[in-house]
Amino acid sequence: MFYRKNSHRDMADIHVYTARKLSSMAGSLETLAKTFDQEISGGRSLSREDGLAALQMAGAMVCGDCSKCNLYSDSEKEDSYYLYYLLRSFEQKGNVDFDDMPRLFRETCGHQADYVGQLNRNLGRATMNLTWKNRFLESRDTVVTQFRELAMVLEEFARQMEAAVDVTDQTEPMMRRIFLRHHMVIDHMLILEYDNKWKEAFVTVKTNNGKCVMSREAAELLKEVFGDRAWTVASDSKAIINRQFATIRFVEEGSYRVMWGVARAAKSGEQVSGDNYVFSRSTPGQAIMSLSDGMGSGGEAARESQRVVELAEQLLAAGYTPRATLKLINTILLLAGEEQHPATIDLCCIDLYTGVLDAMKLGAVATYVISESGVELLEASQAPAGILGQAEPVLLSHKLWEDNWVVMVSDGVLDALPGENKEQVMKEYLEEAGGKNPQEMAEDILKFARSFSGENRDDMTVLTAGVWKKPC
């Protein structure tokens, strides 16, 4: 049997070169982010210069050569308290009235109404300019965040690639024989083992009998080669192997399996629920549960929450960390301004190799983890996404074991429960719920919440996930 010698070594060399280039790119992005940070400056509220300009313009338009009150010249002084008071009053109320003006002005000015009206117009224009300036600065902040987070993704990916061990030589002869036995010829291959012992295989292969083979059937052969975990085809690879050589990426499946359940109810009087959710395994070795509660209810809330969960899924699949994902979503919603409505984000990522659950929240209620030792709450008090520019998601980690359960609910479920401590009511119910399949559990939780009221005062969504260890 003939095959090209050291072909996998060529691929490994390219692999190392790519890792170093990615690391270099990450460094460049971090440098760009620092450059933007240094250039971003300026206050985010009306400044002393804005106030002086408004006073000067009002004087030019109304006062002429009158200098009875000396309002502008007095405000020019460094220790002028009135100028600070004037700006804060306008920011708080949206206008300046006669009571905000100095006593000397009220007693001597013969054009008070004209002056105060012009002053308000000038401060209004300054506020409008400031709003656009702040929007621009927030946009630049977003660029900086994206540069930094992308740099982190590239750096982490480069680190994983450099730390990966080339184990192709250990299994290549056997793998070629097994594939050939099933009428598939391997041109070259690369098998990498990462620091968590998870393996990934890049196999350039074709059929030699003129027929086609499903890539998932080829993935089943890898378990015969390695004799341990099952393998699957990466989502970015071809589903069919034909007579033309193509590189298929196979990934080793995790030690844990997850089953889902969902139950929903819209607010009474609404046709659609403002909550949306996603269950996803688009990232190899990771199961994702995402729940978003749009502000309010109905179609508008549903569109906002759907946008949030879909964006979260795309960013996670692209390699962003859960924290980076939520920060970027928050920034995007914030920049959308009045055209968008804030939404809560509840994100749970389960590592199928280690069984570790990472939960991150912005404005979402508690997540419940059920195990033999009881029910534990994972909660973080945060404002909904799109309200605070510097909102910082909190990472909550928990190790999952055999027959553990994860329960996520929207705030409409908790609000329907009786008493002041609604989280404790839900916890006590889950402690007595007993083991069921995920779908039955989700439906029972929703039925329990709805039993306390004749109508749904808000949208209600329950997500459940059961975690089990795969048999060896």
Q: What is the pTM of this model?
A: 0.67
Shared domain check, 265 and 232: no
Shared domain check, 185 and 121: no
Shared domain check, 141 and 14: yes
Domain of 331, CATH number, reads 3.60.40.10
pLDDT of residue 386: 44
Nearest alpha-carbon partner for 460 in 277, 258, 259: 277
* Rounded Cα distance, 234 and 242, in Å: 17
Please list the residues that pair with 206 across neighbouring strands: 185
* Rounded Cα distance, 421 and 290, in Å: 25
Shared domain check, 145 and 74: yes
* Rounded Cα distance, 47 and 45, in Å: 6
Domain of 235, CATH number, reads 3.30.980
* Rounded Cα distance, 335 and 139, in Å: 7
Q: How far is CA 162 from the centre of its chain?
A: 27
Please list the residues that pair with 465 across neighbouring strands: 260, 406
Sheet holding 165-166, edge to edge: 165-166, 184-193, 199-207, 246-252, 231-233
The structural domain count of the chain equals: 3
Shared domain check, 464 and 412: yes
Q: How many angstroms separate the first and last alpha carbons of the chain?
A: 34
Q: For the purposes of burial, counting CB atoms within 10 Å of the CB of 439, is it exposed (0-12), middle (13-18) or buried (19 or more)?
A: middle
Shared domain check, 429 and 303: yes
Count of other CB atoms within 10 angstroms of residue 4: 9
Give me 190's structure tokens: 């690369």
CA 377 to each of CA 96, 295, 366, 393: distance values in angstroms, whole numbers, following the listed order: 49, 24, 6, 17
pLDDT of residue 430: 94
Is residue 280 within 8 Å of residue 441, measured between CB atoms? no
Shared domain check, 379 and 263: yes
Shared domain check, 197 and 155: no
DSSP3 helix / strand / coil % (the chain, rounded to 5): 45, 25, 30
202: containing domain: 164-252
Shared domain check, 159 and 243: no
Decide which of 131, 147, 163 is a domain's last residue. Answer: 163
Is residue 50 within 8 Å of residue 87, measured between CB atoms? yes
Q: What is the CA radius of gyration of the chain?
A: 31
User: Phi and psi dihedrals of 460, rounded to 5?
Assistant: -135, 130
Give me 115's structure tokens: 């002056």
Is residue 272 within 8 Å of residue 334, measured between CB atoms? no
pLDDT of residue 345: 85
H helices within 70-193, ranges in order? Answer: 71-75, 81-93, 103-108, 112-163, 168-181
Shared domain check, 281 and 395: yes
Is residue 247 within 8 Å of residue 15, measured between CB atoms? no
The position carrying tokens 């553990």 is 404
Position 422, amino acid: K
Decide which of 194, 221, 252 is a domain's last residue. Answer: 252
* Sequential pLDDT tens for the chain (472 residues): 334 445 555 555 666 666 666 667 667 666 766 666 655 555 567 777 877 787 778 777 778 777 667 776 666 676 677 777 787 888 788 888 878 788 777 777 877 788 788 888 888 888 788 777 777 676 677 677 767 777 777 777 777 777 778 888 888 999 999 999 999 999 989 888 877 678 889 999 999 998 999 999 999 999 888 877 789 898 778 999 999 999 999 988 888 889 999 999 999 888 899 899 999 887 777 899 999 987 777 788 888 888 888 888 888 877 677 777 777 777 666 655 545 556 788 899 998 888 999 988 887 888 999 998 899 998 865 544 444 445 566 778 899 988 899 999 998 999 999 988 999 999 999 998 876 799 999 999 999 999 988 788 889 999 999 999 877 5
Shared domain check, 365 and 296: yes
Decide which of 131, 146, 163 is a domain's last residue. Answer: 163
Residue 267: DSSP 8-state: P
* Rounded Cα distance, 438 and 459, in Å: 20
* Rounded Cα distance, 446 and 456, in Å: 11
Is residue 360 within 8 Å of residue 347, measured between CB atoms? yes
* Rounded Cα distance, 294 and 312, in Å: 14
Cβ within 8 Å of residue 99, ≥6 positions away: none
Shared domain check, 318 and 292: yes
